[in-house]
Amino acid sequence: MAEDTTNPSYWLNATFLLCAIIILLPMLFAAFLIWKLEEFNTLRRGDQHSFIEFLYKDEPWRTCLKGISPSWLMAYRVLAFAVLSTLITCNIVLDGGGVFFFYTQWTFTLVTIYFGLGSAFSVYGCFLYHGHANGDRADSIDVDPEQSTYVPPSLEEDMRGPDVPKTSNDEGKNSDYQSMGFWNHIFQIVYQIAGGAVILTDSVFWLILYPLYLSKGFAMRPLNICLHSLNAVFLLGDAILNDMRFPMFRIAYFILWTCTYVIFQWIIHACVSLWWPYPFLNLKSPYAPLWYLGVALLHVPCYGFFALVVRLKQLLLSRFSQS
């Protein structure tokens, strides 16, 4: 018989206390990182000398190489958005709205939103690009004046963002950047959350859950295979084509994303006695704190893997441009 998750004894014990600590401590750490390093907090404190992860207007739609037209990135994003939208719609039609009980669907929807926003940014960027109204490109990309080749940011710049000194001549530009900056900022944060989340989702599914389901004789639908693979494939492809940074401190948003899902599950199960969508979330097991800790620690290599892909791309582009 399944455990009654609405029973107070299910929650008032040492197991839940340890799991709560494992969730709350990373949330506090993530909040501190955002408060300390995020751009809007830097501006609020009056530190105008250095912008952390300053976003230029063309960064959401700019490609990694000048020779690659933004139209290619736009076409890729539109295709990805169409495919992912179709898959998540089919999932809802076939299985109902209850699919959002799973972290997979949370992440898949987030990736779909990313490609929807990315498509809109790319359409806007292509309009500027083909209209020769791209005067900001010279201000927002590093170019070797002799070879006219792409020069990727240094490792320190990639981790924190470029230093942009504020002068009187920059005031007009800064107000222009801030007018578009909100959606640029949201877009990049969605990108960075999704980058870590797709690696976490697909890794946990294929390495932990799939062998477990296979041992119990569960059949795997083609739709489930697509939901646990195409999100990562499309996002990694976008990461190769785009020219956006992937700063390590924004793992904070990824941590908050997962912690929000776990707390959502706790609230639902405290109100209604339900089965757990993932076995390792079940607080009945005395090993639950170890499962929670293990999944929490997975966030670092999952986010780091995506950041490594972005960095390796930059290094390869640098060597290619110099050869």
User: How would you write the pLDDT of the chain (323 residues) with one tens digit per residue?
Assistant: 468 999 999 999 999 999 999 999 999 999 999 999 886 555 555 544 444 444 567 889 999 988 889 999 999 999 999 999 999 999 999 999 999 999 999 999 999 999 999 999 999 988 887 775 444 443 444 433 333 334 445 444 454 444 444 444 444 445 444 545 778 889 999 999 999 999 999 999 998 888 888 888 787 889 999 999 999 999 999 999 999 989 999 999 999 999 999 999 999 999 999 999 998 999 999 999 999 999 999 999 999 999 999 999 999 988 876 64
Q: Where are the domains of the chain?
A: 8-45+61-322
What is the CB neighbour count within 10 angstroms for residue 257?
23
What is the CB neighbour count within 10 angstroms for residue 83?
15
Residue with token string 């609020």: 44
- Give the pLDDT confidence score for residue 214 in this predicted structure: 84
CA angle 268, 270, 273 (to 5 degrees): 80
- Give the pLDDT confidence score for residue 179 in this predicted structure: 46
The model's pLDDT over 46-73, given as tens digits with 9 standing for 90+, comes to: 544 444 444 567 889 999 988 889 999 9
Contact 204, 277 (CB under 8 A): no
Query: pTM, whole model, 2 decimals?
Result: 0.83
**Cα 155 to the chain's mean position, in Å?**
20
- Give the pLDDT confidence score for residue 216 in this predicted structure: 83
Cα separation, 205 vs 225, whole angstroms: 10
Residue with token string 């877009």: 187
Helix H or strand E encompassing 200:
helix 171-204
- Give the pLDDT confidence score for residue 138 in this predicted structure: 38
